[in-house]
Amino acid sequence: MHGWLPAEEPRATVTPPAPTPPARREQRTGLRRLITPLLVLGALLLKFGKAALLLLPKAKVLTTSATMLVSIAAYSLIWGWKFALGFVVLLLVHEMGHVIQLRREGIEASAPMFIPFLGAAVMAKSLGDNATAEARVGLAGPILGTLGALALIPVAIATDNDLWQALAFTGLFLNLFNLLPVVPLDGGRAMAALSPWMWFVGLFAMVVLTFAFPNPIIILILLLAVYETYKRWKARRGGGEEAAAYYKVKPSHRAIIAAVYLGLIAVCVVGMNLTHLERSIPS
């Protein structure tokens, strides 16, 4: 097993969907038998599919637009096509933040690829030359994703349409969830530059979430988090001078990253409070 340093092997920047989307939850029970096999398949792809994901950009059929259409069709089974379309576009905006920043770092990145019920992924050979670059790449997704969700608020006000408000709330929740300080989420990327010890805080938070809100996606993310945290911590402790250089961050850079990270959390929380819709779910 290789130690974790982004230059050693291709990396995926993954954006999982919101674990408990707020719209049309009453339909979930009737669709569990349909969705569960897809989740199992997705879990197998994530466990064994690093090579498969690397091949996705090379497969002509599996283009970004094609995987977007498949995801829209899948999410439509739960939420209807309008909400599903908006949700997938919000995922795309978030992922494009990673793509843009990766290319600004001089790293070739694939176009976003979508996996129904598991989110989206961007493939790249690394996440940057050091933890500061990794944090920039990680936070770029929530920055652009949060701006995209906030842009829907004036649309919701102008149209007085709950759909736009629900999408804004979901987009903000998606980005807030991704800021949890645990790898492979975006917040874990930021912690590489701020304090890798926070990965264990993030793991604890994921365990609490798993018991409080049992959900296949949360369980899958927890399993990935345990594996990634173990692998990265082991590589960091045993990586010698190379690992020390990777995690060496200038105080000014650490302060900027912390300000952006905390600012994003504050914006998402306030925005979710403003866009929250009361829903009565039939018993």
Domain membership of residue 157 (yes or no) is: yes
Domain membership of residue 5 (yes or no) is: no
Q: Are 113 and 120 in contact (CB under 8 A)?
A: yes
Residue-level pLDDT at 280: 52
Residue-level pLDDT at 59: 52
CA 256 to chain CA mean position, Å:
21
Contacts of 235 by beta carbon, 8 Å cutoff, 6+ apart: 2, 3, 4, 5, 243
Using DSSP, how many helices (H) and how many strands (E) does the chain show?
Answer: 12, 3
Residue-level pLDDT at 239: 74
Residue-level pLDDT at 47: 46
Residue-level pLDDT at 272: 96
Instruction: Name the 3-class secondary structure at 120.
Output: strand
Domain membership of residue 264 (yes or no) is: yes
Domain membership of residue 283 (yes or no) is: no
Residue-level pLDDT at 14: 58
Pairing of β 113-115 and β 11-15: unpaired
Domain membership of residue 2 (yes or no) is: no
Q: Are 167 and 83 in contact (CB under 8 A)?
A: yes
Residue-level pLDDT at 58: 52
The pair of structure tokens assigned to 197 is 């010890």
Domain membership of residue 79 (yes or no) is: yes
pTM of the model: 0.78
Structural domain boundaries enclosing 177:
11-275
* Average pLDDT of the chain, as a whole number: 82
Is the torsion defined by CA of 250, 254, 255, 256 positive or negative? Answer: positive
Is the peptide bond between 181 and the residue preceding it cis, with omega within 30 degrees of 0? no
Place of tokens 């408990």: 20
Residue-level pLDDT at 127: 84
Nearest to 227, CA basis, from 205, 203, 211, 204: 203
Domain membership of residue 130 (yes or no) is: yes
**Residue pLDDT tens, the chain, 283 long:** 333 344 344 455 656 665 544 444 444 444 444 444 444 445 444 444 444 445 544 554 457 888 899 999 999 998 999 999 999 999 999 999 999 999 999 998 888 889 888 888 888 888 888 999 999 999 999 999 999 999 999 999 999 999 999 999 999 999 999 999 999 899 999 999 999 999 999 999 999 999 998 888 889 889 999 999 999 988 888 878 888 899 999 999 999 999 999 999 999 999 999 998 876 544 4
Phi-psi region of 240 (alpha: psi -120 to 50; beta: other; left: phi over 0): left
Domain membership of residue 280 (yes or no) is: no
Q: Are 52 and 45 in contact (CB under 8 A)?
A: yes
Domains contained in the chain, number: 1
Q: Are 67 and 74 in contact (CB under 8 A)?
A: no
